[in-house]
Structures are given as C-alpha cells and as structure tokens.
Structure 1
C-alpha cells in the first residue's frame, strides 16, 4: 500500500493538508494522526468497511473495542444515550485525555464496540485531531497507531516504523503531551463511575466532578477484567519484544538490591531508573537510563513508551523501577504491569 506522509505544525496548521486527510477519511481510508496522548490510527467510525481496515493494519482482535473520537460536545448526544445532567459533568473535562463509556445509539456500528451495547467516546485536545474530525464530518474510530500489543507510538519514528505501508495517510504532528493513552471511565453502572483504564486524568480530578469513583483491581494491571468495554482491558498490551522486568515500588534498599540482582541474570541489560537513584547505579557500573523522577510522575508517563521502544531489541532485558500507585502513577504502573513478562 502506498502511504502518504505529511507534516503539520500544531502551532501553525495548514488547513489544506488537514482537509486532504479528512477527505481520505470520507473515502473510507485510514489516517494516522496525533493526539495529546499518543498517535492514533483512525477511520470513519460510522463505516464498517473503514473500521475493518483499522483492525487489519494493527493485527488487532475484533473483540477489542475502539474509541470514537468526536470534535464537539453535541456529538455525545448524537452517538450515545446521555442525560443533560451527566453531559454537564462530562463537558468539564472536554476537550482532554479522557474517554467516557456510555450506552450507544444504533448509528454506531457493532464492529466499533465489539458487539457491546456501549461505546467509548472522547474529544481529544490536540488541535490537529480536532480539525481532522471536524473536516471529516464523522466521528473517527481510532486506537493507538501501533502493532497490536506493542508499545504505543509517541514519536513520528514509532508511527513510521509500525504503520508505513499499512495505512493510507500519516500525519506527523510533533510531540504528544502525555505519552500514555486516555483515562477511560464507565458511566453506565449506576451512580458510581468506574475507571476501566487509568490515564492522564487522575482519580482525584474525577472525584471532584463525579463524587465517588470506583477503581477495580484490574485497573491497576494486577488482574484481568471479567468484561471488556474499552481498549486496554484485554490481552497483553504495551509489550516490547525484549523481556521487560518490573521491580515494584518498595523500601529503597530492597528495591535497589532486587534490580541489581536481576541484572546479573542477563548479558546486556538496561536498568530504567528514577533520577534520584541514578548515582547509585552509576557507582556500581551498570548500564542505566533515567525514565522519570519521584518528583514528577508525568515525566515518567511521557517517557515510558519512548524508552521501551528506544531499547527494544538493543539489549537482552529491560529492568524498570516501579513507582507508587497514586495520581498518574496508577496509569504508569498499569502499563508496566501489562507489558512485563516478570514482576518482582
């Protein structure tokens, strides 16, 4: 397949380029585009023929639902059953890196929702994504633009490596803001919303708007979900080809010792550590790189997938220091636990 690649500056958008990509969406073609979370692989979310091409390009199982990306709040009324009272709460987070699971209307094809009567919908905050959806005139179904199960793409080289020759159009739009996929919250289970996938919007922020929030054990990445309403709930995700070993957060000495002992099991490992521990690993002469800091978990989130791709197949093991399950740290640890082949 011939892939058209265009570069668009999010701060100085050439609308003619966006309209070309939007026309591709109208023609049931596939378009990779930037969002504030990761790069997405999109197609007309109302066309079964177009959506099938997403699954084919990614090698994605058909029982793994997609997210509908919309350009305005009114679209929630068009594609889902939502009360005006609830919509007012949802609107406080839009646009932004959060997805809402709601009862779907008949206009949404079953292929998008894996046959479920619910649909995941979000309004991205990236200017390129919003203009693409607006000019296309349809909701865009889009998972992350990577081979299914592998680390999500946050840089243009990730997208080109995974998707060039498999999609019709690729928009390169600079760096993403958050580096991990959107928070997914289920609004169909009575009065208490459920976090299905943690992301950039932390539970504390959601509680300010919705009151009580339930975080099931599977959202931490420790167990599998019994039901699947959104992406990220089923199958092993985010995994590099190189074995990833996760060392869970614990007492400093214990965690460092576990990392060092595990590194002895490999010929050429890399330790992905916190900035505060870098001098310790330097002292012992082991190969390391800084993935984040205890002071700023958002930094960890932004660099996570970039680091996993940077060292994939260049070392024989990645040993990653874990962080606490708080704030966006819940989302980071969810991704690491799902990507890990071994957890210490």
Structure 2
C-alpha cells in the first residue's frame, strides 16, 4: 500500500491530538488510539472506504469482523436491532469497560465490511476516558481492531503501534501504556447462555455474578472457538479464526500445578534450544526469573498476580523480537479469572505448543 506521514500526538498534546484525530476520523481517516485493553486502529464504522483502509493497514483478512466502539451505552444501543435483559445486565455492570457484546445488528448502521456480512455487530464502550473523548469528538461509531499488523503481538504502547504501522495510517494518539493489557472479553447471548467467544479483561466469574441468573456462562473449551470458526466461515468475534499475537521466534508454553516442575521443564527446553545455537528467551514470574539460564529472562510479575502478567505479555513478546530471540519458553498460569485470557493469548502466540508437566 502507499505510505505517507503518520502524525504522532504525544501525551502533552492530548487536547490538540483529540481535536485533530477526530477531524481525521470524521473525514474517513484511520487513527490509532489508546483503550484500557490495547491500542485500537480506528475508522468511521459507517464509511466503507475507511474500513477498507483498516484492513489494508493491518493486512487483516476481511472475513474477520471488527468491534465497533461507541462513546456511550446509548450510542452503542443505537447500533443494535434489539437488546435482551441479559445483555442489559452486562452493559450496566461492565460499560464503560473491557466487554464486547455481539448483538443483532440494526440494518444499515455500519458498513457490511465491519460485520463481515453477518447479521450481528460486536459493540463496546471503552473504559479509557481518552478513547471516549475521541469517539465523541469524531461524532461517529468507530470500528477498531488492535493497532498492529495482523498476527503480531497487540500494542500496549504507542511505540508498538509505530513499529508496525508507521507510514500506513494517518495518526497515533499516545495515551501512555494500556491498563488491562489483553483485549476485551467478547460475549454473545444465545438461548439463555452467555457464550464467551473470546476471553479477555472481564472474567467468566465476573460475568456469572453480573448476570444474576438471567443467563449462565457457557464458555467453550480453550481452543473450541478456533475449530468452530474454521467450520462456520466468518467468525462472530475477532481473535478466534486466524493466527494471532505471535512473536517472530518459535514459542512454547510450559504449564502445570507444581512450580518446581514447570521451572525445570522450562529450563530443559531452553537448554536444548541454546545447544542448537538459538538465542533463547524465558517469560517467567518474578519468583522464578532469577533461577533461569537464558539469553533473555523477562519478568511477568508475581505468580499470584496474573493480571500483571496479562499487562506485560505483549510488550515482553515484542522485546524478545527486538533482542533477536529465536526461541521463547513461557511459564503458564492457572486458567481461572484473568488467567483464562492470559493463557488464551499465550496459547495462540505459541501456535498451540503447550507442554503440561
């Protein structure tokens, strides 16, 4: 695609950045902006040419739907043909915040490229105040996948966006590091069941509590979404059909309930690859990190705080790329709470290579 200058608005030019970025979005431009999860690459969801530019910049398959971001729940509701009581409970509990709802689409309100031709639309109200200000100033719903080249680790800092998309998009609005670090949870309510199409910043346990019996959470097996999406054509949610979040090097995840066995198996894998001449990186909790022998050991935070690991994961994968690491071994985490989303992203980054000990 044709390259051009990408405008960068630093945090100290926030007000000017919102004003100028909103004008670009309203005119059909594409701009990266911070959310509480990861940085998004936004364009007017009603403008097919703007949506096409998002796909082109990312190199993203066009049968993968985009999430539409709204400045308020009221604006989000205008995109849906109907909203049931279970969806309302979730909206009330988690908006603004890292929850995306897949709803019946109101005909004609967004480009068919946003929905991948489906009869549903994925919608959320971001928890990041700067994102909501930008969307409100643009005066339109904003379709926004993560602001990275498709398949690469998602960006949690403005610098990550520029690494992937400088010269391919109109601007980057820098709001500092993101908070959650993994993408939003995507939920679709069907026949009284809340199907978690993508785990994320809102946990299954939080969903269950908020639903209050209006529906029950029916999460699929860890990789069920991939197989189902492959069989069903266009997926209802992003992040379930194609390779995602991958570093340049080969990655394997070592998981299990015994920390000593995990550490020993991870070191064995690292030693085997170093003996072959590869640069090896280890992603480890703070407690285990000092014990590893590797070319790079990146800390993901205390073992008991998986939310810290979720915040740090994508930046750690990108750092491994910067260091020329050819093989990455990562410690796994229990798949409960935010750990479910963390392990989902680790599994995808590793291409399914996970070793349980």
Q: Is the 8 A contact 1:275 1:292 kept in 2?
A: yes
- 2:241 match: 234
| Partner Cα separation in structure 1 for residue 121 and residue 36 of structure 2 | 21
- 2:19 match: 19
| Partner Cα separation in structure 1 for residue 249 and residue 187 of structure 2 | 31
Q: Note the 1:271-286 alignment, pairs <5 A.
A: 271-281=282-292
Matched positions, count: 338
CA displacement 1:65-114 (0-9 Å, x = unmatched): 10000011112331112336345312221100110001101122210011
| Partner Cα separation in structure 2 for residue 37 and residue 223 of structure 1 | 25
| Partner Cα separation in structure 1 for residue 85 and residue 46 of structure 2 | 27
Distance apart, 1:312 and its partner CA = 1.2
| Partner Cα separation in structure 2 for residue 65 and residue 44 of structure 1 | 14
Distance 1:262 1:285, change over 3 A: closer
- 1:161 match: 163
Distance 1:264 1:306, change over 3 A: same
Residue ranges of structure 2 left out of the alignment (5+ in a row): none
| Partner Cα separation in structure 1 for residue 260 and residue 86 of structure 2 | 47
Q: Note the 1:37-186 alignment, pairs <5 A.
A: 37-83=37-83, 85-86=85-86, 88-89=88-89, 90-106=91-107, 107-186=109-188
Residue ranges of structure 1 left out of the alignment (5+ in a row): none
- 2:334 match: 324
Distance apart, 1:264 and its partner CA = 1.9
- Considering only aligned residues, what root-mean-square deviation do their CA atoms show, in Å? 1.9
Of residues 9, 23, 26, the one that matches 1:6 is 9
Distance apart, 1:274 and its partner CA = 1.3
- 1:291 match: 300
Q: Is the 8 A contact 2:282 2:294 kept in 1?
A: no
- 2:208 match: 207
| Partner Cα separation in structure 1 for residue 227 and residue 258 of structure 2 | 24
Q: Is 1:334 aligned to 2:335, yes or no?
A: no
Q: Note the 1:229-268 alignment, pairs <5 A.
A: 229-267=236-274, 268=279
Distance apart, 1:271 and its partner CA = 1.3
Distance apart, 1:213 and its partner CA = 0.4
Q: Is the 8 A contact 1:248 1:255 kept in 2?
A: yes
Give TM-score scaled by structure 1 length. 0.93
Of residues 318, 321, 324, the one that matches 1:309 is 318
SS in 1 for 2:288: helix
| Partner Cα separation in structure 1 for residue 269 and residue 318 of structure 2 | 21
Q: Is 1:217 aligned to 2:228, yes or no?
A: no
Q: Is the 8 A contact 2:281 2:294 kept in 1?
A: no
Q: Is the 8 A contact 1:218 1:224 kept in 2?
A: no
SS in 2 for 1:323: coil
Distance 1:219 1:127, change over 3 A: farther
SS in 1 for 2:193: coil
SS in 2 for 1:266: helix
